[in-house]
Amino acid sequence: MEKLITDMMQWANITEAELKHKGTIHTAFGEDLSWEYLCYVRNHPIDWMVPTKILYGSRDKLTSLETISDFAEKHSATLTVMEGGEHWFHTEAQMRFLDDWILRERQK
């Protein structure tokens, strides 16, 4: 989450000092950035202890393949990448891929 927040800060050209000073900043891409939330994320690192399977879209604009791959490796999660998929699966093809993926994973 910290990586996503700091990436969004870069996209919006916002420094940590500016965010700390203002507290909350609304971005042009529709997300509010919060100093309080960034501090919370930093002070409460995840302790991921559950089996996890991740479906990732290759055209995800919020989370890089490098970031999701690093998470999967650190937490022993399996990662499936849908070529052409996005962060939010919403097209008919993406939803069909999601449904098929869920059914395959249930059978394992």
Domain ranges within the chain, ordered by starting residue: 2-43, 53-107
Q: pTM, whole model, 2 decimals?
A: 0.73
- Token look-up 């950035």 returns 33
Q: pLDDT tens for residues 53-86?
A: 999 999 999 999 999 999 999 999 999 999 999 9
User: What's CA 103's distance to the chain center, in Å?
Assistant: 23
**Alpha carbons 21 and 93: distance in angstroms, whole number:** 44
> Is 41's pLDDT higher than 90?
yes
